[in-house]
């Protein structure tokens, strides 16, 4: 379970924060991929899932991402300011495969988009060029939906429900959590808004308190409310602090109930913030008091450059850690 919050109205920088909520460590690694990498959409972490017709491509853009479980990309941005994030969605149903389209295993879904597109619109145009294939790691099926945003502030939510793709494309779609599907989340949020207005208030007050549980619906509504109240920042420091404050408010504390109704809820493993304007990536591990950040422009992203990586799970890491990445073999 996770939360994504886009702030595209502050007039300073387009920022997006997210939480990663999961029942175990995903072994996150901050990874920088250069241009010119040849990729196979069926191979990851030493196994093949896409059969005889995998999608193959060469990365057009460099990217800075968080990889999990040895190679799958779950969050990040590319050098042109496109951001992408995978969040859990239990009702994901990819539907029947199309043998006429090359297959892309789902753990590489957003990496393909970051490798290939400059904007949300370009990324959406790519969706018809492949078919997604489900993958399972450590017993967990990757039933996910995806949020995209770019440096212009554009936004899209992509889901596969009942075997059909649903795309919600508008810069007003700034908040995303998990169950239920996005259209139902919007309906529930509107119900809360109407409830507040029926009592004569423009926003929640002491008479109409904000939802306070850790389930996806309550987190969605709190994130929508608090992100709308953020004051105009004077500089990037204030802007990042603002989006982090809302992201932390939507986090799930350790010891929170794992079961809330039909769906499981897990504590927050880490939080990230993408600054799509200045190409900075912030990372905060829930078990560490330190905030890390990385400057994408400090890396060599040209074809032939090395893949660089950093394990953020160290109390010795704090502040700008761009210079502490080390060369690694590509995880594919």
Provide the CATH number for the domain around residue 129. 3.60.60.10
Inside any domain, residue 31? yes
Please write the tens of the pLDDT for every residue from 95-146. Answer: 887 888 999 999 999 999 999 999 999 999 999 999 998 887 777 788 899 9
Does residue 222 sit within a domain?
no
Q: Is 225 part of a structural domain of the chain? A: no
Q: Does any domain span residue 211? A: no
Band (262; pLDDT cuts 50, 70, 90): very low
Mean pLDDT of 214-240: 90
Answer whether residue 286 shows pLDDT above 90. yes
Q: pLDDT value at position 203?
A: 64
Query: Per the structure, how many domains does the chain have?
Result: 1
Domain containing residue 287: 2-181+232-328
Task: For the chain, give the percent of residues with pLDDT over 90.
Answer: 63
Mean pLDDT of all residues in 61-73: 93
CB atoms under 10 Å from CB of 12, counted, come to: 16
Q: How far apart are CA 136 and CA 14, in angstroms?
A: 33
- Is pLDDT larger for residue 201 or for residue 213? 213
In the residue annotation, 274 being an active-site residue is answered as no
Sign of CA dihedral 84, 64, 103, 55: positive
* Percent above pLDDT 70 for the chain: 90
User: What is d(CA 15, CA 6) in angstroms, rounded to the nearest whole number?
Assistant: 6
Catalytic residue among 1, 2, 151, 224: 2
Query: If phi over 0 gives left and psi between -120 and 50 gives alpha, with beta otherwise, what is residue 93?
Result: beta
- Give the strand pairing for 131-133 and 2-7: unpaired
Question: Can you tell me the distance from the alpha carbon of 28 to that of 300, in angstroms, rounded to the nearest whole number?
Answer: 22
Residue 244 lies in a domain: yes
Q: Cα(278)–Cα(80) distance, rounded to whole angstroms? A: 10
Q: Give the chain's mean pLDDT.
A: 89
Query: Which sign does the torsion angle of CA 46, 314, 138, 62 carry?
Result: negative
Query: Is 215 within a domain?
Result: no
Asked if residue 207 belongs to a domain, the reply is no
Residue 89, pLDDT above cutoff 80: yes
**Is pLDDT at 248 greater than 90 in this prediction?**
yes
Q: Is residue 22 part of a domain?
A: yes
pLDDT grade, residue 263 (50/70/90)?
A: low
Bigger pLDDT: 262 or 174? Answer: 174
Cα distance between residue 22 and residue 169, in whole Å: 27
């Amino acid at each position: 379970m996770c939360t994504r919050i886009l702030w595209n109205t502050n007039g300073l920088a387009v920022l997006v924060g997210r939480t990663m909520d999961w029942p175990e460590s995903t072994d996150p690694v901050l990874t920088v991929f250069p241009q010119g990498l040849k990729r196979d959409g069926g191979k990851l972490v030493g196994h093949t899932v896409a059969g005889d017709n995998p999608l193959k491509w060469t990365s057009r853009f460099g990217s800075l991402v968080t990889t999990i479980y040895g190679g799958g990309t779950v969050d990040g941005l590319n050098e042109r300011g496109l951001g992408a994030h995978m969040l859990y969605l239990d009702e994901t149903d990819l539907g029947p495969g199309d043998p006429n389209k090359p297959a892309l295993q789902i753990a590489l879904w957003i990496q393909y988009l970051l490798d290939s597109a400059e904007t949300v619109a370009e990324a959406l145009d790519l969706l018809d060029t492949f078919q997604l294939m489900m993958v399972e790691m450590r017993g967990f099926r990757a039933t996910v939906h995806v949020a995209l945003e770019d440096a212009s502030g554009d936004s899209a939510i992509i889901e596969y429900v009942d075997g059909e793709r649903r795309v919600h494309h508008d810069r007003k779609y700034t908040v995303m959590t998990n169950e239920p599907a996005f259209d139902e989340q919007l309906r529930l949020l509107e119900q809360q808004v109407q409830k507040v207005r029926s009592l004569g208030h423009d926003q929640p007050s002491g008479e109409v308190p904000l939802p306070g549980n850790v389930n996806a619906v309550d987190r969605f509504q709190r994130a929508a409310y608090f992100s709308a109240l953020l004051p105009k920042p004077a500089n990037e420091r204030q802007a990042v602090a603002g989006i982090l404050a809302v992201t932390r408010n939507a986090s799930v504390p350790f010891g929170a109930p794992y079961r809330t109704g039909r769906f499981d809820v897990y504590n927050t493993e880490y939080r990230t913030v993408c600054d799509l304007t200045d190409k900075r990536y912030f990372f905060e591990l829930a078990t560490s008091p330190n905030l890390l950040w990385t400057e994408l422009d400090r890396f060599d992203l040209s074809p032939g450059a090395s893949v660089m990586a950093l394990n953020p799970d160290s109390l010795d890491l704090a502040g700008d850690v761009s210079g502490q990445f080390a060369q690694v073999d590509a995880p594919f």
